[in-house]
């Protein structure tokens, strides 16, 4: 069948922590997640604690310095998403992750909406100037326990959305538009319990999209789904997306 007569459905992929666990990045909320093992660790990513307690900031920078997350590489699931986009299928990724692995795998940055920001950059909480996380961590390694903004002296933080901060309204508005416009909405590696990201699945269904959920555990949206896949993401997602790429998306 020629490409002219093959319908290419618009696909929205909402990705959560589960898509990156095969890359060695922990699921913070899972049974073995960091928040379960060390409730104090949640303070490190809570805006009020971070902004008012220098020791919390120092601990946060040490954690980032010692973390191997920035060295993580995309796995087969990230690569399958990028492969789908290269096959000519209109794809938009809405991710709850801050690891940047979709882009490293080859997804164009303009097609990835990072709801919770990125851990690969830092921003000044006063003047809003942004710079690379690598540069900030080099300063920490050189002895600056709590590096300040070089432009204005303000407090630096990762360009992620901490607990107590709101999402970027422009990113959220675009995510809503994608959910409303897509024909297939795939929620992968997410519990679909964190709002407002989770509500995007229901919004897509309301606008006529086919909902597919790929997650190890049940989610509140399973009953709305046309297909629920419990197999490991690294195996299941490439099969599912390759099926869509050849025009067998259901």
CB 190 within 8 A of CB 218: no
Q: Are strands 117-124 and 130-132 parallel, antiparallel or unpaired?
A: antiparallel
Long-range contacts of 194-203 (CB under 8 A, 24+ apart): 194/96, 196/167, 196/172, 197/14, 197/16, 197/94, 197/96, 197/115, 200/12, 200/14, 200/94, 200/175, 200/176, 201/14, 203/176, 203/179
Annotated catalytic residue within 78, 116, 126, 207: 116
- Is residue 7 annotated as a catalytic residue, yes or no? no
How many CA atoms are closer than 13 Å to the CA of 33, on its beta-carbon side? 12
| Positions marked catalytic | 116
């Amino acid at each position: 069948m020629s490409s002219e007569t093959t319908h290419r459905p618009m696909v929205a992929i909402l990705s959560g922590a589960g898509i990156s666990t095969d890359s060695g990045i922990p699921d913070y909320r899972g049974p073995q997640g960091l928040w379960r093992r060390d409730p104090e660790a949640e303070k490190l990513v809570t805006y009020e604690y971070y902004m008012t307690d220098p020791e919390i900031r120092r601990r946060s920078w040490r954690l980032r310095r010692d973390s191997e997350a920035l060295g993580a590489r995309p796995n087969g699931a990230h690569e399958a998403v990028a492969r789908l986009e290269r096959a000519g299928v209109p794809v938009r990724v809405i991710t709850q992750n801050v690891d940047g692995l979709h882009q490293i795998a080859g997804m164009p940055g303009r097609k990835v909406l990072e709801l919770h920001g990125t851990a690969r950059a830092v921003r000044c909480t006063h003047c809003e100037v942004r710079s690379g996380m690598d540069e900030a961590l080099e300063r920490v390694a050189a002895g600056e326990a709590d590096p300040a903004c070089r432009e204005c002296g303000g407090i630096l933080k990762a360009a992620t959305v901490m607990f107590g901060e709101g999402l970027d309204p422009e990113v959220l508005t675009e995510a809503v538009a994608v959910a409303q416009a897509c024909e297939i909405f795939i929620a992968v590696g997410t519990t679909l319990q964190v709002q407002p990201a989770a509500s995007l699945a229901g919004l897509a269904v309301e606008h006529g999209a086919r909902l597919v959920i790929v997650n190890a555990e049940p989610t509140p949206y399973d009953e709305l789904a046309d297909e629920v896949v419990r197999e490991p993401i690294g195996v299941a997602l490439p099969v599912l997306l390759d099926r869509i790429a050849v025009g067998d998306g259901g």
